Amino acid sequence: MKFETVSENRSFGGIQGVYRHQSEATGTTMTFAVYLPPAAEHGKVPVLWYLSGLTCTHENAMTKAGAQEWAAEYGIALIFPDTSPRGEGVADDEAYDLGQGAGFYVDATQKPWAPHFRMWHYVTHELPELVFSNFPLDREAQGITGHSMGGHGALTIAMTMPERYRSVSAFAPIANPSDSDWGRKQFTAYLGDDHAAWESHDASVLMRERGYPGEVLIDQGASDQFLDLLKPASLAQAMIERRQPGEFRMQKGYDHSYFFVQTFVADHIRWHAERLG
């Protein structure tokens, strides 16, 4: 699979790269970022996928999360995909929470979204094949995390494919989208009125139905301005009912911003490193 190097910069002894390729899944040009720690110079390294939130591109977490320092220390590669297809001819909406920048990590089945909005397939199939074929990454040691809409994606993907992802965490995930305006609107647009399809992309529903075979780490800011949309209590209750091993931490005074992510990203990378070996 061919790709183009947009940029590569030295960072904490490793390389932060940005790359571009033509995606068959979305039918568009897609941009993604990969951080390779110094350990990648000597062999394959574990992989942590970071899925970003509404309005973001690959760049937000790459430049704002402060993750490279800790990835270098623990010898983990980071992969930052984009959040949606983009470009001329790609459906969009005037609202920030639908269309470009708001793919919700689902494969759309409805017009006008279906031709390009196939972010589930892109993140779980196409992009992995590209990066594992071209970078020194250990396919058997993958973890996944994300923030907000990306936390939703990380949790639903990990619970759907637990045999692939040996660790999972999330920052302020959209936890119960089937029962939130950050979910019902987008699921109706992308997936139609089939609520069974919605529930297969709802972390709280999946937690009740199947859970995750390992431990789960969730950090949520207690002063998050979007608590009514994120619905963390639904996920916390589902974890209790499932008796899901892990931690759900309400962090006093923290909001939804990348200052929150920066504060706890070291904890999350350490968490994944312990489980990825």
Task: Write down the H helix ranges in 40-194.
Answer: 58-64, 68-74, 119-121, 127-134, 149-160, 184-191
Q: In what order do the strands lie in the sheet with 216-221?
A: 4-11, 14-22, 29-36, 77-80, 45-51, 137-146, 165-171, 216-221, 246-251
- Long-range contacts (CB closer than 8 Å, 24 or more residues apart) made by 86-93: 86/28, 86/29, 87/28, 87/29, 90/28, 90/116, 91/115, 91/116, 91/117, 93/189
Integer Cα distance of 250 and 128 in angstroms: 32
40 residue type, one letter: A
Q: Would you name the residues annotated as active-site residues? A: 148, 224, 256
